A and B are shown apart, each in its own frame.
Chain A
Amino acid sequence: MSSGEPIPEQPGRPEDITAVPVRRPGRWVAAAVVLVIAVAVVRSVATNPNFQWGVVGEYLFDGRILHGLRLTIELTVIAMGIGILLGVLLAIMRLSPNWLVSSASSFYIWFFRGTPVLVQLLFWYNIAALYPKVALGIPFGPAFVHADANTLITPFAAAILGLGLNEGAYMAEIVRAGIISVDPGQADAAQSLGMTRLQTMRRIVLPQAMRVIIPPTGNETISMLKTSSLASVIVVTELLYASQLIYSVNFRTIPLLITASCWYIVCTSVLYVGQYYLERYYGRGARERQATVLQRIRAGLLSFRHQPSR
């Protein structure tokens, strides 16, 4: 483990070695090539008038774009929430000793991973063609509540269902991998203390499984944020569709796509930072804790103040 702090001078300690470093011409050439390419790209992006950066700035905080952004975030949060809950449920079902329960979970995962999410979205959008009426009641018995599928399953609801149910299948595998990564001795210890299966799962196994579950879940969330743009095909005015609606009128296609991309990248960056803190929380006890970004800045400032005063 390296702490960035300078080693204090000690009397009688031998001097550090100062040697001429080995020359590495290959690296210099590679660095030069990278630099040239980077300058060319930046220059082209900045000076090519077709990017129309002015228009991007104009629409960045446009009401319709911001509304689309809100829908995108809502879609991501709700669909991911459904996905995670469903994933935990399916993972526990998959590990059940009951054959029927575990096969049901396997079947679900097989089906939803085996079909494209775009197709699933279109199915949910057209669900009324399959089931015109939705009813709530006793299976094979009387129904208490009737609803028209077209009014119940709005485009937004179809998007939530499509994205969430599909995500559940992927999350199930991630959660299952996390659960089986925990040493079975942990469950033995918990049960020998008198904990029930449920308590063991909740207090002992899942918190440890989290270390394995969080990183791929972060990936999934970032992926979900971007996949939610597929909802544009079923007329949900999320970020991408909101920009499309604008450029279909004013034909400023490129700048509006850039506007949408800017917001996507802002959101994924926020998620990235959130994931870092979550991983840090669930990594407790596993190794020396990583410092938070704030702690690192503070440590940096303090190290200036506490210069050796000799």
Chain B
Amino acid sequence: MSVPMVKAEGVHKRFGRLEVLRGVSLEVAAGEVMCLLGPSGSGKSTLLRCINHLEKINSGRLSVDGELVGYRQVGEKLHELREREVASKRSQIGMLFQHFNLFPHMTALENVTCAPLRVKNESRDRAEARARELLGQVGLDDKVDAYPSQLSGGQQQRVAIARALAMEPKLMLFDEPTSALDPELVGDVLAAMQNLAREGMTMIVVTHEMGFAREVADTVAFMDDGVVVESGMPADVLSNPSHERTRAFLSKVL
């Protein structure tokens, strides 16, 4: 079997005295879509932020595409990566946020071209052509010059998808991408994500959209209290949860 895209082994993360991740282990293969479910405070978002090295893990091993996140192993010792190296690894991982976090002082097009121009040093022509294409793919051809404040939440999140894709990531992390949206806007964003999954993007999705998990996910992992309680095929986990806590959670959200 080839190297998994994401591999976590006994990952711990503390904020002060609060232990948010208490030994998380999971694997996501390349091209796979994993949905992370679980009650709020269970550590799903923190795990995503650790994968991107927005947070440093305290113990355990976390690797993306076979390389440790944030460290280089020399013999027995771990060396922290330089800021540039961390940044360059992050540029290969796209991330979506619950509150979109579009740059409000830039138009949709500028939001999408920003990172290719500054991080990859692409030419403006190339970056803009690609940005228009990506915005077209998420159905926003006519909003290229709009500022985020002029867009609906669903449109903003789709710009954010285009912005992440512009860096041609090998992995996409979604942190509750539809939780802040009005119900009628959720569909467009989920459709865009489903297209991505179909094209073979490796995705980890923290979500409360059970329908999406059931239809799109290859595996579902249920987290509670800082550990992965159970994981498996969506049909198994969602229909026949083997663990008491999974059953309790699902009975509340389904």
- A residues whose Cβ falls under 8 Å from a Cβ of B: 183, 185-186, 188-197, 199, 203-204, 207-208, 282, 284-287
**Residues on the A chain within 8 Å of B84, using CB:** 196
Given A189-B101, A284-B105: 20 more A-B contacts, CB < 8 Å: A185-B97, A186-B101, A186-B103, A189-B102, A191-B87, A192-B52, A192-B54, A192-B93, A193-B91, A193-B114, A194-B92, A194-B119, A194-B167, A195-B87, A195-B115, A196-B84, A203-B118, A284-B147, A285-B107, A286-B104
B83 within 8 A of A: yes
Contacts of B102 in A (CB 8 A): 189
A189 touches B83 (CB 8 A): no
Q: Report if B94 contacts A (CB, 8 A).
A: yes
A211's nearest neighbour on chain B, judged by CB, is B105
- Residue ID in chain A nearest B94 by CB atoms: A192
B163 touches which one: A186, A193, A196, A208 (CB < 8 A)?
Answer: A193
Q: Which residues of chain A have C-beta atoms less than 8 A from B160's C-beta?
A: 189
Query: Whole-angstrom distance between the alpha carbons of A285 and B148 in the complex?
Result: 7
Q: A189-B97, A193-B119, A195-B119 are in contact. Are A287 and B114 (CB under 8 A)?
A: no
Query: Are the CB atoms of B83 and A193 closer together than 8 Å?
Result: no
Contact B90 A192 (CB under 8 A): yes
The 5 closest A-B pairs by CB, nearest first: A194-B91, A285-B147, A189-B101, A193-B115, A192-B95
Which residues of chain A are near B115, meaning CB under 8 Å? 193-195
User: Is B81 positioned at the interface, with any CB of A under 8 Å from its CB?
Assistant: no
The interface residues of chain B lying within 8 Å CB-to-CB of A183 are 101
B20 close to chain A: CB less than 8 A: no
B88 at the interface (CB under 8 A from A): yes
Other-chain contact of A188, B54, B83, B92, B148 (Cβ < 8 Å): B54
Q: Is B164 an interface residue (CB 8 A)?
A: yes
Determine the distance from Cα of A12 to Cα of B26 in the docked complex, in whole angstroms. 68
CB neighbours (8 Å) of A199 from chain B are: 118-119
Please tell me if the beta carbons of A195 and B147 are within 8 angstroms of each other in the complex. Answer: no
Residues 102-129 of B contacting A (Cβ, < 8 Å) = 102-107, 114-115, 118-119
Whether B99 is near chain A, meaning CB under 8 Å from some CB there, is yes
* Chain A residue with Cβ nearest B95: A192
B34 to chain A, nearest CB (A): 18
Specify which chain B residues have a CB less than 8 angstroms from the CB of A208 in the assembled complex. Answer: 103-105
Measured CB to CB, the closest approach of chain A to B84, in angstroms, equals: 6
Residue from the list A192, A197, A285 in contact with B105, Cβ < 8 A: A285
Do B101 and A188 touch across chains, with their CB atoms under 8 A apart?
A: yes
Query: B149 an interface residue at 8 Å Cβ cutoff?
Result: yes
Neighbouring B residues of A191 by C-beta, 8 Å: 54, 87, 90
Which B residue's beta carbon lies closest to that of A198? B83
Most chain A beta-carbon contacts within 10 A, residue among B87, B90, B99: B87
Are B105 and A193 in touch, CB under 8 angstroms?
no
* Cα A33 to Cα B99 with chains together (Å): 54
What B residues does A286 contact at CB under 8 A?
104-105, 149
Q: Which of B49, B83, B95, B106 contacts A196 (CB 8 A)?
A: B83
Query: Which residues between 158 and 185 of chain B lie within 8 Å of chain A, taking CB atoms?
Result: 160, 163-164, 167
B107 cross-chain contacts in A, Cβ below 8 A? 285
Give the distance in Å from the alpha carbon of A190 to the alpha carbon of B92 in the complex.
Answer: 13
Q: A189, A207, A286 — which one has the most chain B CB atoms within 10 A of its CB?
A: A189
A91 to B158, CA, bound (A): 35
A206 CB to closest chain B CB, in angstroms? 10
Question: In the bound complex, how far is the Cα of B103 from the Cα of A204, in angstroms?
Answer: 7
A185: which of B52, B99, B148, B164 is its contact (CB, 8 Å)?
Answer: B99
A174 to B77, CA, bound (A): 44
Decide if B148 touches A194 in the complex (CB within 8 Å). no
Q: How far is the CA of A217 from the CA of B84 in the complex (A)?
A: 33
A193, B101: Cβ atoms under 8 Å? Answer: no
Give 8 A-B contacts (CB < 8 Å), ordered by A residue.
A190-B103, A191-B54, A192-B90, A192-B164, A199-B118, A284-B147, A285-B105, A285-B106
With A and B bound together, what is the CA distance between A183 and B54 in angstroms? 15
A residues in contact with B97, CB < 8 Å: 185, 188-189
Q: Which of B84, B118, B119, B167 has the most CB of A within 10 A?
A: B118
B118 touches A207 (CB 8 A): no
A197 to B92 CA separation, bound complex (whole angstroms): 17
Distance to closest chain B CB from A16 (angstroms): 31
CA distance A196 to B82 in the complex (A): 11
